[in-house]
Structure 1
Amino acid sequence: MEKVIILGTGPAGLTAAVYLARANMEPLVIEGPEPGGQLTLTTEVENFPGFPDGIMGPELMDNMKKQAERFGATFKRGWVTDVQVEQRPFQLSVDGLGELETQSLIVSTGASAKLLEIPGEKENIGKGVSTCATCDGFFFRGKKVVIVGGGDSAMEEANFLTKFASEVQIVHRRNELRASKIMQDRARDNEKITWALNKTPVEMVSDGMKISGLKVKDNDKGEEELIETDGIFVAIGHNPNTEFLKGKLDMDEKGYLLVEPGMTDTNIPGVFACGDVQDQKYRQAITAAGTGCMAAMDSERFLEGEAVKDWSQSL
C-alpha cells in the first residue's frame, strides 16, 4: 500500500515528488514512456529561474529527479493502463509493475504537442523545430521563422515571435483560418508577419545540423516549393495524456482534467492533477512546477485529514 503515487516525471510530477519526499510521505513515482516530459525534447532552457546561463532540458529534469530521490522518492518505469478511483485505496494497473494500491494519487501525465508527422520533423526537434514559441523564440533573434497552424495559439505565437524574428511566415493548409477574428486581425496588422495559405507542409529540410527550409505543396496547383527558414514552429495544438482516465475523472471536451479553481483537486477526493494535464493556457515548466508543489501540499493535507478522521472515529 502506497501513501501517494505520482504519475509522470515532468516538472510538475518531479516537484510534487520533492515536496512529498521532504514531508516523509515516501512517494512512488511512475515514469511513463517519456521520462522527463516535453523538456527532454528541449535543448537549452533559459527561462527557468535560478539558471542565469541557461540549462539543458534533460539536465534540468535529471537534477529534479536526483533531488526527489535524495529525499526518499522511489521511481519505477511502467505504463498505466487502468485506474480504479471509485473507492480507496485506489487501484492502478501498470504494465511492467502489475497491480498497485495507493491512498492518494497525483496525475501529472502532461500533454503532448501535436506534430505534423512529416519527414524531417521529429529528428530536428531542438535543431530548429519547436512546439513552443515562448520557450524557444529568443534563440531566433533577427532570423526568419515559419509557424505552422491556423488557430488562436498559432496567431498568438506568431505575434510573440515577431519580438525576436525579423520575419514570421504563417503556413496553413487552408485559405481560411480557424482563429478568432480578433486574433486574425492582430496577426494581419503585424507588418513582420507574412502568409502562405492553402499550402500543405510535406517535409522539413535540414543541412544535417539545423533546419534550412520547409517544403510545402500548393493545394490548388499541386506544385511544391521550398520556403527558406531558420526555424519552424509547429502550433497545431496539444493532446493531454488522459486517455486512460476517460470515464474516471471529470475532463473538458479536449480531455484536459478539471480541477477546483486555484487548487489541484479533481472531482474524486484524494486524486489531484497538476501540470499541463490540467493547464492548456500557460504550459510552461515553471507554472507546471508550481502546480506540482500545490498538488503535493493538497495530497499531504488530504492524507493528514484522513488520519485525523480515522483516529477520532476510533475513540
Structure 2
Amino acid sequence: MEIKQVVIIGAGPAGIAAAIQLKRYNVEPVILEQNEVGGLLRNANLVENYPGFPEGITGLALVELFRKQLDNAGIRVDFERVLELEYNGKIFSTRTERRVIASDVVVVATGTKPKEILHPLISDDITDWVFYEIYPIIDVKNRKIGIIGAGDAAFDYALNLSQKNNVTILNRSNRVNCIPLLWERCMKSYNISYSPDITVRDIVKADNGLLLNCVKNHSGEKVNVCVDFLVVAIGRESCLDFIGEELRKNSADLIKSNRLFMVGDVNNGIYRQTAICVGDGVKAAMEINRIIRKGAV
C-alpha cells in the first residue's frame, strides 16, 4: 500500500485546478483519471463564459491549455480507474486497478455520468453506433447524426457536430430546456434540423447505420429517421459508484472536517460550468493547505 497526503480522483477542470493550487503549496497530490484529461469539457463546442477568452474558446482547446499548465507545473496524471474509495476510521483507502493508496485527504472531482437509455431500446448489436459523449466522433464528417435530448448538452453537441455533419435533434416534448443562445444558433444552422414532440420507439441496425422508428406524440404518425450515429443527451448524474459503504456513512462528517472534498460537477447539480469547477478546485486546495499547516492531518 502506498501512502500519500492527498489523492485527487478525476482530472477535469476541478481536479486540475486543485492539483495546480496544491503544487503552489508544495503539496504533491496523486491525480487519478480513468479516461482523459479534461472531463466533459472535451465535448464543449464553445466556452464563452470563462474569463480570459474574449472570442470564446473551444472545449478541446481549453483542455489543451489545462494540459500544458499541468506539464509546466510538473504535475503528472496517473491514468487508472478507481474501483473503490473507502474510509477505515482513520485514513482513506483508494483502490485502483493497479494499486491501493492510503491518504489523509481525498478530493473527489469525478464529475457526472450520462443517464443511459436502457435495453431493449438500445440492444447489444447497436451499441457501437450509440454515444453518450461526442468526443469519440468529433472528427467524423459527412454523416447523419441523431441526437436525443432537449437541454444545453443536446444543443451544444448539435452545434459541435454540425460543423462537418448533418444533425437531427429529437425532442420527445414541445419544451426546449437549453439556454436561448444555443437555441438561436441551432435554428440558424443549415446543418441542424429539430423535431419536437417525437418519441423514439425502436432502434434497429440498418445497412449503413441505424434506423430510428419514431412516433409523433400528438398525431400518432409514424416517422423513420436514418442516422449513421446516435447521441443520447437526456441528462446526467453524479459519478460516485466507487464510494464504499463505510465512507457513505461517514461522508458528511468527513466533508465537515475538511478531510473529504466533493468538487466540481459531482457536487453542483445543474450548475455545471468550467469556471465554477475551477473555483471549487482552488478553494478545496486552499482548505487542504490550511489544515496541513495547522497539523490537523
Please indicate, yes or no, whether the TM-score normalized by the shorter chain is above 0.5: yes
Residues 134 and 56 from structure 1, CA distance in 2 versus in 1: closer, same or farther, beyond 3 angstroms? same
Aligned equivalent of 1:79 = 81
234 and 49 in structure 1: CA distance in 2 versus 1, 3 angstrom threshold: farther
Q: Partner amino acid for 1:196? A: D
TM-superposed CA distance for 1:282, in Å, is 1.4
User: Shift in Å at residue 36 of structure 1?
Assistant: 2.2
**How far, CA to CA, are the matches of 1:115 and 1:72 in structure 2?**
37
Equivalents in 2 of 1:198, 1:56: separation in Å? 32
Contact 1:24 1:72 in 2 (8 A): no
> For 2:63, what is the secondary structure of its paired residue?
helix
Residues 249 and 222 of structure 1: is their aligned pair in 2 closer, same or farther, counting only changes over 3 Å? farther
Kindly tell me: are residues 95 and 16 of structure 1, through their superposed partners in 2, closer, same or farther at Cα, counting changes over 3 Å? same
Q: State the Cα deviation string for residues 126-171 of structure 1 (Å, max 9, x = none).
A: 877776158567768xx996254569xx742276643434389xxx
**8 Å Cα contact 1:121-1:204 kept in structure 2:** no
Q: Which runs of 5+ in 2 are unaligned?
A: none
Q: 2:195 & 2:221 partners in 1: Cα distance?
A: 21
Cα distance between partner residues in 1 of 2:155 and 2:269 = 14
Amino acid aligned to 1:106: V
Q: How many angstroms does 1:14 deviate by?
A: 0.5
Q: Give 5+ residue unaligned stretches, structure 1.
A: 169-192, 252-257, 311-315
CA contact (8 A) 1:20 1:27 kept: yes
1:52 aligns with 2:40: no
Distance 1:294 1:266, change over 3 A: same
Which residue is 1:242 aligned to?
Answer: 240
CA–CA separation in structure 1 for the residues paired with 2:90 and 2:64: 32
Structure 2 residue aligned with 1:181: none
The two structures have a TM-score, normalised by structure 1, of 0.66
Measure the CA separation in 2 of the matches of 1:126 and 1:199.
26
Amino acid at match of 1:77: F
Q: Secondary structure at the match of 2:110?
A: coil
Distance 1:156 1:217, change over 3 A: closer
1:146 pairs with 146, 163, 169, which one? 169
Across the aligned residues of Structure 1 and Structure 2, the Cα RMSD in angstroms comes to 4.3
Residue 187 (structure 1) aligns with? none
CA contact (8 A) 1:201 1:217 kept: yes
Change (3 A) 1:13 1:226: same
Structure 1 residue 11 displacement after superposition: 0.6
Q: How does 1:193-208 map to 2 (within 5 A)?
A: 195-200=196-201, 202=203
Deviation at 1:6, TM superposition (A): 0.5
TM-score, normalised to structure 2's length?
A: 0.69
| Separation in structure 2 between the aligned mates of residue 43 and residue 32 of structure 1, nearest angstrom | 23
Offset of residue 288 of structure 1 = 1.3
**SS in structure 2 at match of 1:281:** coil
2: CA distance, partners of 1:115 / 1:75: 28
Write the mapping of 1:184-263 to structure 2, written as runs, cut at 5 A.
195-200=196-201, 202=203, 215-218=212-215, 223-226=222-225, 234-250=232-248
2:263 aligned with 1:288: no
Deviates more, 1:46-55 or 1:284-293: 46-55
Map 1:68-107 onto structure 2 (within 5 A).
68-96=70-98, 98-107=99-108
Paired residues of 1:9 and 1:37 also in contact (CA < 8 A): yes
- Sequence identity of aligned pairs in percent? 25
Shift of 1:203: 7.6
- Segments of 4+ in structure 1 off by > 6 A? 126-131, 137-140, 219-222
How many correspondences in the alignment? 264
Residue type of the partner of 1:292?
A: G
